[in-house]
Amino acid sequence: MTDDKGAGLLGHATAVLTGQHHVPRNQASRAAALLARQALEDVVCGLCDSWGITDPRVNMRSRLIMMRHLGDGAAADLAATAWWGLSGACHHHAYELTPTPDEIQNLIDQVTRLAALSANTVQGGDGS
């Protein structure tokens, strides 16, 4: 179920970036970043659930650290890079430029790769 939800969110994020969903142009990048970050969090939570980490009080930073110790280091790096990039893109700061659609699409692609890796890990049982 999480995979379907995550894929749906990533699809919506891409649709926002490409103008298929009607979002004001100056807000499309941030809206897509929010959707992609939620998809990323769903993927990471699904991985943590597969390792038995189900406490809802565990925050995303802690989950990313657990990914490094319980899972694949490459997947952990991909997740951390995507999460920090998307988190920065979601927050408006007066002194920063709005992220470009290409930057957000790159982060969406990272989340898509992570989702594929996590699907193989969860289905294959390879948690080491």
DSSP secondary structure of 31-45: HHHHHHHHHHHHHHH
Q: For residue range 12-63, list pLDDT tens digits in order.
A: 999 999 989 888 888 899 999 999 999 999 999 998 888 888 888 889 999 9
Q: For residue range 59-81, list pLDDT tens digits in order.
A: 999 999 989 888 778 889 999 99
Q: Tell me the CATH number at 49.
A: 1.20.120
- Average pLDDT for 110-127: 76
Q: What range defines the domain where residue 60 resides?
A: 2-124
pLDDT in the model for residue 1: 35
In the chain, the number of structural domains is 1
Q: Out of 34-38, 53-57, 89-93, 122-126, pick the least confident.
A: 122-126
